[in-house]
């Protein structure tokens, strides 16, 4: 049940957020402002999703995932309503910011925490991968739906349709309130949120994991934002940019499930180290090899496999090491680091291009960061903290 609720929630929330690019031109034209305003509003939204995640994570751990998700859905719906009635730049930035805060409520921190608490430890990473794959699928299919809605009506009317689609999440957030029934979810019940955060930050492994996740955000947002422009600079066929993004989306779903499954069978931290190393090797090959149709499509596909596969593994390590009781809060903090990486990846990519006239330096930074992150993950100790080990021992003695 919780798996369906979580998958549905992420499918719609990721899908809606992902399709905002379709509003860039009509909204900018309507407000008679440059595209920078829309870009700024989107950047603020990305940061607010990151900032909101630990807060909604804590709300979820304290009051229940269903209630936290419900609040998030309501904020998203209010944001969409506001956006459909905008008159100036303030309205645009305000509405997208509100949706960012709401998006954190019905996003990964709350949903992954709910799923992590509800499933058995043996299959946890696979199920975390399944809900992430549903989110990836939502990103993939909502864009044509929104395009169609804008084409048959106007951009403002299509937002009203999006409110109706978002309202379906109310049902899914209700389903999420059934989370936290598995035995493993009881681990950590004697702790307060403050104590759990303190415990996490005093752990070297949690800090390394959080810094490592920053690199994930840096990589994916740089590539997602700047790859189409990079391909255009290479004078490659015009169909290649669209197909590259489509293959990233397709293999993202496959990769998330693949690594979710592997995470239940092999060491998650080693898988993450391999994953970040593979990203670096991929970037390196992309820099060195000649760019043609096949090499670009292969780059996009392999990158898709390694795209969001980090999420089930990272969240899986958090629940394995600290228990799943405060998983939403702890994952929310880690996710905030991811979003800072996202912001920097996007901004620095543009800044470096403006300064040097090419993305070369940025690709090399990506290669270096990938290997550094891999080393950080190797150093992680993937064992339950002492508190949980003692508890397990006392269960065995009983």
Partner 1 sequence: MPTLYVLITFSICWIFIESTFLISNKLVIENHSNYSNDTFLNSFRLLALFLLIGTIIFMSNLQSEFDFQKYYFVCPL
Q: For residue 32, what are the contacts with CB-CB under 8 A and spacing of at least 6?
A: none
State which residue, 216 or 367, has the beta carbon closest to partner 1.
216
Selected from 30, 174, 178, 243, the binder of partner 1 by CB under 8 A is: 243
Q: Which residue reads 């397990």 in tokens? A: 392
Measured in Å, how far apart are the chain's first and last C-alpha atoms? 32
State which residue, 255 or 323, has the beta carbon closest to partner 1.
255
Tell me the HSE value of 304 on the side-chain side, using a 13 A CA sphere.
23
Kindly state the tokens that stand for 366: 């990506």
Please state, in angstroms and rounded to a whole number, the distance separating the CA atoms of residues 243 and 20.
19
Q: 349 to 388, contacts with partner 1 by CB under 8 A?
A: none
Selected from 158, 177, 342, 373, the binder of partner 1 by CB under 8 A is: 342
Rg of the chain (C-alpha set): 21
Q: Is 202 helix (H, G, I), strand (E, B) or coil?
A: coil
State which residue, 261 or 391, has the beta carbon closest to partner 1.
261
Can residue 258 be called a binding residue for partner 1 (CB under 8 A)? yes
Selected from 123, 182, 203, 207, the binder of partner 1 by CB under 8 A is: 123
Can residue 265 be called a binding residue for partner 1 (CB under 8 A)? yes
Can residue 21 be called a binding residue for partner 1 (CB under 8 A)? yes
Contact 104, 72 (CB under 8 A): yes
Selected from 217, 316, 323, 370, the binder of partner 1 by CB under 8 A is: 217
Contact 327, 318 (CB under 8 A): yes
Q: For residue 199, what are the contacts with CB-CB under 8 A and spacing of at least 6?
A: 191, 322, 385, 387
Q: 131 to 190, contacts with partner 1 by CB under 8 A?
A: 139, 143-144, 147
Can residue 11 be called a binding residue for partner 1 (CB under 8 A)? no
Contact 8, 169 (CB under 8 A): yes
Can residue 344 be called a binding residue for partner 1 (CB under 8 A)? no
Which range of residues in 117-125, 326-334, 362-370, 373-381 is near partner 1 by CB under 8 A?
Answer: 117-125
Please state, in angstroms and rounded to a whole number, the distance separating the CA atoms of residues 203 and 206.
5
Contacting residues toward partner 1, per CB under 8 A: 14, 17-22, 24-25, 42, 46, 49, 107-108, 120-123, 126, 139, 143-144, 147, 217, 220-221, 224-225, 228, 231, 238-243, 245-247, 249-251, 253-254, 257-258, 261-262, 264-266, 293-294, 297-298, 301-302, 305, 307-308, 311, 335, 338-339, 342
């Amino acid at each position: 049940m919780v798996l369906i609720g979580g998958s549905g929630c992420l499918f719609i929330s990721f899908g809606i957020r992902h399709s905002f690019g379709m509003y860039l031109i009509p909204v900018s034209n309507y407000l008679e402002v440059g595209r920078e305003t829309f870009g700024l509003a989107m950047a603020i939204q990305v940061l607010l999703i990151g900032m909101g995640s630990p807060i909604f994570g804590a709300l979820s751990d304290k009051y229940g995932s269903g209630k936290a998700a419900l609040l998030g859905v309501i904020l998203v719906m209010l944001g969409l309503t506001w956006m459909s009635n905008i008159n100036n730049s303030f309205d645009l930035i305000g509405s997208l910011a509100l949706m960012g805060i709401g998006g954190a409520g019905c996003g990964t921190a709350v949903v992954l925490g709910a799923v992590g608490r509800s499933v058995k430890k043996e299959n946890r990473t696979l199920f975390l991968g399944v809900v992430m794959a549903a989110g990836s699928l939502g990103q993939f299919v909502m864009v044509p739906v929104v395009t169609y809605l804008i084409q048959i009506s106007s951009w403002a009317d299509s937002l009203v349709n999006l409110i109706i689609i978002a309202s379906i999440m109310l049902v899914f957030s209700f389903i999420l309130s059934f989370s936290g029934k598995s035995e493993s979810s009881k681990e950590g019940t004697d702790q307060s949120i403050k104590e759990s955060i303190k415990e996490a930050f005093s752990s070297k492994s949690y800090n390394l994991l959080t810094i490592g996740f920053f690199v994930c955000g840096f990589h994916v947002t740089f590539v997602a934002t700047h790859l189409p422009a990079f391909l255009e600079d290479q004078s490659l066929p015009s169909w290649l940019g669209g197909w590259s993004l489509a293959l990233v989306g397709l293999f993202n779903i496959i990769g998330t499930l693949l690594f979710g499954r592997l995470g239940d069978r092999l060491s998650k931290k080693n898988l993450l180290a391999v994953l970040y190393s593979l990203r670096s090797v991929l970037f390196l090959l992309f820099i060195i090899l000649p760019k043609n149709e096949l090499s670009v499509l292969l780059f996009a596909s392999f990158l898709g496999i390694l795209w969001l596969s980090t999420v089930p593994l990272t969240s899986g390590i958090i629940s394995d090491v600290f228990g799943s009781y405060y998983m939403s809060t702890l994952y929310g903090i880690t996710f905030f680091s991811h979003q800072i990486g996202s912001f920097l990846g996007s901004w620095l990519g543009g800044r470096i291009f403006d300064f040097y006239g090419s993305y070369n330096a940025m690709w090399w930074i990506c290669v270096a960061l990938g290997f550094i992150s891999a080393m950080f993950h190797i150093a992680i100790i993937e064992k339950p903290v002492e508190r949980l080990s003692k508890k397990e021992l006392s269960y065995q003695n009983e």
